[in-house]
Structure formats: C-alpha cells, structure tokens
Chain A
Amino acid sequence: MFSRIEENPAEALVTFLFEGRPITARAGDSVAAALLLAGVATTRTSPVSGAPRAAYCMMGSCFECLMVIDGAADRQACLTPVADGMVVSRQLPLSGGGS
C-alpha cells in the first residue's frame, strides 16, 4: 500500500467521490494515484473473464485504469487529474465502457 513520504500542510487538497465514499487527495494527483493512496485496489474488471484489474503502467499505455469519471466511461484514471467534486467509479461490464 502506498502512502505519502511527507505530508505538506500547505498543499492544496481536493475531495472527490469514489462510489459514494469521499476521498481527499492532493491537487495534482491523478485519479489513479489518489485511489492507490486511498487503498482502492481495483479500477475495473476484465470484460473477458470478469477478473479484477488495477492501474499497471501509470503512463497511459495499458488501459487497465479505465474508469467511469463524471459519467463518462473509458476514462484513463492515470491521465486524469483529480478535481473537487469529481465522481468516480470502477468500470464494470455494465458501465457502458467501449472496451
């Protein structure tokens, strides 16, 4: 599990909703990093077997971090910066992902 190396009280924080649960992150974190720090293990399931998947590359290559963000499916959580009030959920076979 990831944690911050040092907390900086001067840092701007944002709060977003992950499946109904408020999560506070540092402004500048990607959604994928913020979720890793909050201990959320999976971002989506495999449409083939249903197996859980998680962010793998954190640089936009693997597409394992596809999530539903503010109502839009297939968003790459590792490329999306967190924002106040953002609504995030895991991408499951019925969330309308094109994958």
Chain B
Amino acid sequence: MSRAVDLAVIGAGPAGLAAAIEARRIGLSVLLIDEQPGVGGQIYRATDTSPVSGSGILGAEYRRGGELALSFRASGARHMAGSTLVDITADGWIGFEGPDGVEFVEAAQIILASGAVERPFPVPGWTLPGVMTVGAAQTVLKASGAAPQDDAVLVGSGPLLYLYAVQLLRSGRRPQAIVDTAPRLPALRALRHFPRALAAPLYLAKGLRLLNEIRKSGTAHHRGATGIRIEGADAAESIVFQASGRRHSLNTSLVLLHQGVVPNIQITQALRCRHRWDDAQLCWVPETDEWAQTSRPGLRVAGDGAGIAGALAAEYRGRIAAIGAALALDRIVEPDAEERARPLRRLLKTELAARPLLDALYRPADDLRVPSEPDTIVCRCEEVTLGDISRAVTMGCPGPNQLKAFVRAGMGPCQGRMCALTVTETIASLRGRHPGEIGSYRLRPPFKPTTLGALAAMKLPDAPEIDRAGNTGTVELAEQS
C-alpha cells in the first residue's frame, strides 16, 4: 500500500464515514482505519452483515448506517478493517496492527473519530460473569442476531437502555425487569433548558414512545432504584436494590448495565491534547476549534469523541473536520470551505440545542458514578476497590497518576479505559475538589497493548522517529507485564 495519504481517519462510525466521504469529495486521498471487520462503528454496527437489519427490530435510524456505508464504498477512500491503532508519532506517522502485522503510514492530516464508550457502572458484583453492558448485549443483537432469554435484568438509565428493551420486545423477547436508576428530580430541573432546545421535542417524543412501548408490554419497571448490588459466587445469580421504599431481590443469570455514554478520549489523552471537564456531561472532552482541530496541529476530533451529541451530529462534525483538513492542506480556499461548512454548522447547532435538556434528563446518579461501598471494585483489571482508593487518598495520594503507584489502579490491560472516570470523580469527591483540578491518567502509546512479536515483526519505514515509536511501545509493555 502507498505509505502516504492526505488524510487518515480513525474510526468507521458516522463521524469517520462522513469525514472520509466529504474529504474524498474535495479530492483528498483518504485511508480509514477501524478495528471492526465492517464499517458502521458501534451505532451502525454490522450494518452490512447484520442478520436482523431487515427485520425492523433495530429501528429506522439504523438504516442510515447502510446509506453511509454505500456512499463510503463509492467514495474511493481506502479501508483498513480489523486494524487497531497503536501509535501516532509527532511527525504524523500512524502505526496500526492489522491482519498483516504492525504497519505505518504517513498522514498529512488525521481525524480521530473513535466515538463513545459506555460510562463505567461500578457497583458491587459488576465483575461477575453474567454481567455485561447494555451496549454489549445490543452489539450481540446487531452483529449476531441474538438476544437473551427472558431472565435478563436491565439496570441503569439513558436512552440506549430503553431502546434496547424495546428492541428485545420487538424480537419477541422480554426482559425480566428494568431497574431504573434515573433520579426522579432532574426531570423537573431539566425543564429550564426547554426553550433553547429546538430539536429536543423530537428526542423527547422518541423517548416517550419507547417508554410507552415498555409500559404496554407489562415489563416490570422499578423506578428510582438505589443500592444496586449484584450477587453470586462464580457468576451473577441475583440483583438486589431499593425501590419504592423497600428492598427487592431478583434472581437472574444476566444483568445488563448502562448509564449513558462518554467520549472515548484514550487517544487524545495519550497524545496530550488539551481536555476540559464538562460539568453537564460529567466527562472529559478534548478542546477543539471551529474546524475540529485539537491543541495538537493536524489532529482533529469528530463525532461523540469530541463530546456526546449523537449520530446525526457526528456526521456533521465529521464533514466539518474533513473540510478543515482540506483547508489546512490548502486544497480548498477559505471562502469555499466556509460555504461548504455553513449548512452543516446550522444543522449541528440544531442538534446541539437538544443536548442540555437531554444531559440533564439522563444525568446519571451521583452514587452510581462515585461508589459508596468500600468493597466495590473500581479498577476491574487490578481489582482496586473504593476502600483502596480512600486509603491511598488518606495517605496523601493527590490524583489518578499517583494512584497508579499507590495501588496499581489503571495499570492493567485496559489501560484505565474502564476506571479513569470513576477514579477522577472519586478522588475529586474524597478531596472535595472539582474533577477538572484532579485530572486523569496520563497515558502513553501503544494505545492498546500489543504483543512483543508484533512489534518485533513490524514493517518500519526508514524514519528514525518510527524507531522511537516502536521503542516507546516496548517500554510500556515492560511496565505492564
């Protein structure tokens, strides 16, 4: 493959696909790198191959993925499927591990479209087999056309939870119960955002329709649930919680957890881009300018990775980022760029106007973000509990990076993906500080643990910088094993 491209896009969800398509329209050469075997990202997962795509189970929105995939294939962009990003060097080389081992290409501009991940859900028992996320179960539905039998209990809050419950019902399945952790008060507080929320009625109506479908199905729906605990010896056996003033216990072999999604900032963090703490979305967001440019020149972020705004907004942001990349490369003049971007910015503004209301409405409960029981595991890989963190903070541990040294939190194979947010918010709460002051784990390439064999066998271009990248990776590996 040719070793140089105008634009590399990382991630094949709506933002990445739209960015690739737009960049091709302007005439840039484009390489799209993605971990999955097919395009679509998580929201349109398996859009080309899903056994249930034609059945109506997944809903009308899912079809948009098929349209995007079609335009992408016609665009002339190259697609590296099944490829995991390993490193981005200071001078724009991108290393990824694909079917043929680790490879490097040189990209003049880079758009990261690595989307969202589900917010951690640290409750006692969440590491037991038989506990997974709602998003995980939905992936099995999209990619394999499979769903749980009738004993699954859905726990948490947020639109995805209701959507998945309805998708189960449409599949002829039914969850045993929904244990709804949405606090009841915010619904009222959220209303003050109403006048600004132009597109919000649409999203609200959609949410109400889902809730209505759930109610009509007769599925047990426990609202305002607190004190969630999953119990079992070697696998989930039951879930206990408080709701309507009493204690409930449900026997189940499958607990599905969800409390919203947050930007996947693993790569922008590792590349030291500037981030800010978003008080409404309760997460880190990379700082970007009007062309999606981060604090690192030539690196743009589009889609939910730049702040949660949904699949439609992701497309607009992907296209705006692509125009920005073309502008930076002098492949389009500024007035033309502005003209191309103007309608997109208008559409984006409408989508974003709905967010404050949705953020307030679906804000996850405080005690589900910062656990209260000392035995709750926060870092799944290293089995670091809330109790361990409290002790470390009492002993003077000021923040997430020092916590690594105290208790190995964030040092396992997931590199802090599953605990970083919880750790930041927990330390902030223990120290009475704002999460923005506490910061997050400092990360380093490789973005994902890779094998020594793959690094040894990688195809190195002749640039000395790349050698450095390889060495960085080896050092990180040594620390991890």
Residue positions of A touching B, CB distance < 8 A? 1-6, 8, 11, 26, 28-30, 33-34, 36-37, 41-42, 46, 48-49, 51-64, 66, 72, 74, 78-79, 81, 98-99
B110 within 8 A of A: no
Q: How far is the CA of A11 from the CA of B234 in the complex (A)?
A: 35
CB 8 Å contact bits of B146-190 with A (1 = contact, 0 = none): 111100000000000000000000011100000000000000000
Q: Given the complex of chains A and B, what is the CA–CA distance between A4 and B132 in angstroms?
A: 18
> B39-63 CB contact bits vs A (8 Å, 1 = yes)?
0001000100101100101000000
Q: How far is the CA of A42 from the CA of B127 in the complex (A)?
A: 11
Residues of A within 8 A of B132 (CB): 54-58
Hey, which chain A residues are within 8 Å of B481, CB to CB?
98-99
A78 proximity list for chain B (CB < 8 A)? 139
Question: How many Å lie between the Cα of A11 and that of B251 in the bound state?
Answer: 35
- Residues on B with C-beta less than 8 A from A79 are 35-36, 82, 84
Choose the segment among B299-307, B333-341, B376-384, B428-436 that binds chain A (4+ C-beta atoms closer than 8 Å): B376-384
Could you list 10 further interchain pairs (A-B, Cβ under 8 angstroms) beyond the known A48-B381, A78-B139? Answer: A2-B146, A2-B149, A4-B145, A5-B173, A6-B55, A29-B144, A46-B383, A53-B127, A60-B448, A79-B82
Q: Is A62 a contact of B140 with CB atoms below 8 Å?
A: no
Whether A59 and B52, one on each chain, are in contact in the complex, defined by CB atoms closer than 8 angstroms, is no
A10 CB → nearest B CB, Å: 10
Residue of A nearest to B118 (CB): A57
Closest 7 CB pairs of A and B: A54-B129, A58-B136, A63-B413, A99-B413, A58-B139, A63-B414, A48-B383
Q: Is the CB of B413 within 8 A of A52?
A: no
Given A33-B140, A36-B140, verify A63-B381 contact (CB < 8 Å): yes
B449/A74 in contact, CB under 8 A: yes
Do the beta carbons of A1 and B148 come within 8 Å of each other? yes
Q: Do B143 and A30 touch (CB < 8 A)?
A: yes
The docked-state distance in angstroms from the alpha carbon of A48 to that of B139 is 29
CB closest chain-B residue, reference A27? B49
Point out the residue from A3, A42, A61 that lies within 8 Å of B418, measured CB to CB. A61
Knowing A6-B145, A99-B449 are in contact, say whether A56-B37 is a contact too (CB < 8 A). no
List B residues 261-279 near A (Cβ within 8 Å). Answer: 264
How many A-B residue pairs have C-beta atoms within 8 angstroms? Tell me: 155
Smallest distance from the beta carbon of B47 to chain A beta carbons, Å? Answer: 12
B92 sits at the interface (CB 8 A): no
Q: B172 to A5, Cβ gap below 8 A?
A: yes
Asked if B480 is an interface residue, CB under 8 A from chain A, the answer is yes
Residues of B within 8 A of A58 (CB): 132-133, 135-137, 139-140
In the complex with contacts A36-B140, A72-B451, A98-B480, A62-B418 CB distance below 8 A? yes
Residues of A contacting B137 in the complex (Cβ-Cβ under 8 angstroms): 58
Residues of B close to A61: CB separation below 8 A? 117, 264, 414, 417-418
In the complex, how many angstroms separate the beta carbon of B323 from the nearest chain A beta carbon?
Answer: 29
Which single residue of chain A is at the shortest CB-CB distance from B139? A58
In the bound complex, residues from chain B placing their C-beta under 8 Å from that of A36 are 140, 146
Q: Report B-chain residues with C-beta under 8 Å of the C-beta of A26.
A: 51, 144-145
Task: Give the residues in chain B near A42, CB-CB below 8 Å.
Answer: 129, 234-235
Residue on B nearest A64 in the bound complex, by CB: B380
Contact of B412 with A by CB under 8 A: yes
A37 engages B144 (CB within 8 Å)? yes
Q: Can you list 20 A-B contacts with CB-CB less than 8 angstroms, sorted by A residue number?
A: A2-B146, A3-B147, A5-B146, A6-B51, A26-B51, A34-B144, A36-B140, A42-B235, A53-B127, A54-B128, A54-B235, A56-B131, A59-B135, A59-B136, A61-B264, A61-B417, A63-B381, A64-B380, A74-B451, A78-B139
